[in-house]
Chain A
């Protein structure tokens, strides 16, 4: 009886060694696979004295996981904002770039200065018209860029919502699989790895918190506590582009200062761009356009209907329709020499009897650059002259971008430390696994040796008869 029980014990040692080798080889093969945790066998002695695998353990630390996910959400939110802003501010340029609207406005002012000395010189008049056209088209382009980014943001919100829904559905399905799998099995450990990867993925879209039940299933909530996945039921996230609302099931989770909105993640970043930065930047571009149209019009209303150098798509300035003005601002066709206009209107103010050396209309327009604008500056500054508007716009927008980038960088640096700790805890050290393999190999050889010895002992016993 004791020899056969020894044989069973040795056999259990062999099968445990085989399973351990399986785990070591899984660990080493997946040492580069993201989201796969290091696994090992938790061993115990069975009632007959043999060894058995009580559970396949995963190397996870819930605190590190939570910190890393928080950081992922925060980083996703900040980098979404800074990337969105950078796509626009690249067109604003650095102070020394000629592409900057500040440089364009300054070129226009300079052309006016020259024209005030040579008021009847046609080439100088044309230079003013050309600089004005460059200024207007720069505003048109910047406004177009903001609209493009806005469309991109809307598209990305829809993509993110659809990816998040897929992932939430995947989590609900995994909950079922975990429930059905054998407790402590390799399969369950693999499901849990997959579960963690999916939760990591959701944390890139929004801030989440998890509650793990005794049975190993995970319930997922937003940072503010709205249910996302409960057991095998996933809520559907939907986006209403008209109202600008985001809902999970029937609960409003639109990012914002009030309510149960999400506050991190790429979706939160996209909403920040959509509701805060882009409308504000558009309004400020419109304010510059409004400043140009209204001041030039009041100084020299030479055109039909009292229009000036700049028009709102051919019409005079209307304080009630400033929205979208940066996209509509054009140079008055009546002075545009390239389409049959007459640039000398700048000098004579629409009155052919004005003497050719009279520069009063030109100096009146030039004076506008150093006078405080009366239009709503949309937060560019309280007291601004026309020539200060473009530099104020460029520096405000560039500063917003630079601070968003610096916030992203510091979150990234802080996050790397946490991510490294998590990876070290969950990841595989090949050297360590090799050392474990040596021990397993020894144990396997020893158990096999025990079996050989028992076999020999039994043979001896049989031969003695």
Chain B
């Protein structure tokens, strides 16, 4: 008669395999509980891991567009400030030109005001952001304007081929630059240069009135031009801000989707860990009891 028996070696081998498996699973769950991230995303769900990898790539590029856009936002803010300064300087000279008592005022004072305005505007036009000149067109390493030695006229030193642009998202470009050779500035500088190069004291009241008329007309054109430039810039700022908001929302979406794939569910992991610890305890007890069960103990 054949008696089928369990090999003593196989019995202990089976228990060893069971305990080794449980320990391996325990190590994985411990890691997942501690890090909160699945140990091998590709093994758990290869398709989702591929998705997660693609989304990480989108997230990284969106996040860097956002960072770059925030930098650009700073640049536009600085340009806007400079443009406001320029407009307010021009407006304040225009106010002086339009004042009722101008004909009888000290003409030297008027000339001096023109000179100061010109100097302040040159400073504002040479504003830099992170080492780049803002009003020089594409030649951002070049000063935009320079006052000549006599202090009466200015020369545009920047580039005349285009304005800077930036990539604010995949396939979306924003042209944002304002050049100091824009007709608005040319009109204002022309008016100020006229005041500075004319011998005002030699003018009769009538001639002075004609000059004043010409200056205010030119200044008016310039100020209108600056206002329209400021509106364009404000529009760009709004586009950029909405792009940044949009990118923020996209980052949240990507982040949640990635977390959904890569994160180990803490409750589930904890529950599995607990179950496994109980199983392991039982396995140890059974192994110990089995080892104690031998005919040898009764002989």
Chain A residues with CB under 8 Å of chain B are: 31-32, 38, 94-96, 100, 102-103, 105-107, 109-111, 113-114, 116-121, 355-359, 363, 366-367, 369-370, 387-388, 390-392, 394-395, 398-399, 401-403, 405-406, 416, 420, 423-432, 434-435
Contacts and interface: CB of A to CB of B under 8 A. Distances in A.
Nearest to A406: B43
Contacts of A369: 61
A95 B68 contact: no
Contacts of B3: 432
Contact of A357 (B7, B61, B164, B294): B164
Nearest to A34: B9
Contacts of B6: 424, 429
Contact of A113 (B49, B167, B173, B261): B167
Nearest 3 pairs of A and B residues by beta carbon: A427-B7, A355-B138, A110-B64
B208 interface: no
Contacts of A100: 53
B71 A117 contact: yes
Contacts of B164: 357-359
B9 A32 contact: yes
A94 B68 contact: no
B204 interface: no
Contact of B40 (A94, A111, A395, A435): A94
B140 A357 contact: yes
Interface in B8-60: 8-10, 13-14, 17, 37, 40-43, 46, 49-50, 52-54, 56-57, 60
B30 to A, nearest CB: 17
23 contacts: A31-B7, A94-B40, A94-B262, A95-B41, A95-B258, A102-B56, A110-B63, A113-B67, A114-B68, A116-B166, A116-B167, A121-B131, A355-B137, A357-B140, A391-B54, A395-B49, A395-B53, A399-B42, A399-B49, A402-B40, A420-B10, A431-B5, A434-B299
Contacts of A390: 57
A27 to B, nearest CB: 10
A403 B43 CA distance: 7
Nearest to A430: B8
A398 B294 contact: no
B132 interface: yes
Given A95-B49, A366-B167, A427 B9 contact: yes
A117 B61 contact: no
Nearest to A109: B61
Contact of A402 (B14, B46, B67): B46
B43 A402 contact: yes
B167 A405 contact: no
A401 B42 CA distance: 9
Most buried by A among B9, B37, B132, B142: B9
B288 interface: no
Contacts of A430: 8, 294-296
Contact of A116 (B61, B68, B161, B171): B68
B162 interface: yes
Interface of A is mostly: helix
Contacts of B42: 94, 395, 398-399, 401-402
Given A94-B41, A117-B166, A399-B46, A106 B9 contact: no
B52 A113 contact: no
B50 A356 contact: no
A423 B9 contact: yes
Contacts of A428: 7-9
A304 B37 CA distance: 47
A434 B295 contact: yes
A424 B43 contact: no
A113 B43 contact: no
Contacts of A406: 43
Contacts of A420: 10, 13-14
Given A428-B7, A428-B9, A359 B46 contact: no
B139 interface: yes
B294 A95 contact: no
Contacts of A114: 64, 67-68, 71
Given A355-B137, A355-B161, A370-B170, A429 B8 contact: yes
Contacts of B299: 434
Interface in B123-157: 130-132, 136-142
B126 to A, nearest CB: 15
A370 B295 CA distance: 75
B41 A424 contact: no
A106 B294 contact: no
B72 A117 contact: yes
B49 A118 contact: no
B65 interface: yes
A457 to B, nearest CB: 34
Most buried by B among A31, A100, A402, A406: A402
A85 to B, nearest CB: 11
A31 B132 contact: no
Contacts of A359: 164-167
Contact of B171 (A32, A358, A370, A398): A370
A356 B141 contact: yes
B47 to A, nearest CB: 8
A391 B140 contact: no
B64 A429 contact: no
A420 B68 CA distance: 63
A363 B5 contact: no
Given A113-B64, A117-B69, A399-B42, 8 more contacts: A94-B40, A103-B56, A113-B61, A356-B142, A416-B17, A423-B10, A425-B4, A430-B296
A355 B166 contact: no
Contacts of B222: none
Contact of B57 (A117, A387, A398): A387
Nearest to B133: A357
Contacts of B159: 355, 357
A392 B60 CA distance: 16
A398 B60 contact: no
Contacts of A117: 68-69, 71-72, 75, 166-167
Contacts of B130: 118, 121
B57 A391 contact: yes
Contacts of B61: 106, 109-110, 113, 369, 387
Interface string B221-257: 0000000000000000000000000000000000000
A414 to B, nearest CB: 14
A377 B108 CA distance: 76
Contacts of A398: 42, 46, 49
Most buried by B among A363, A394, A398, A403: A398
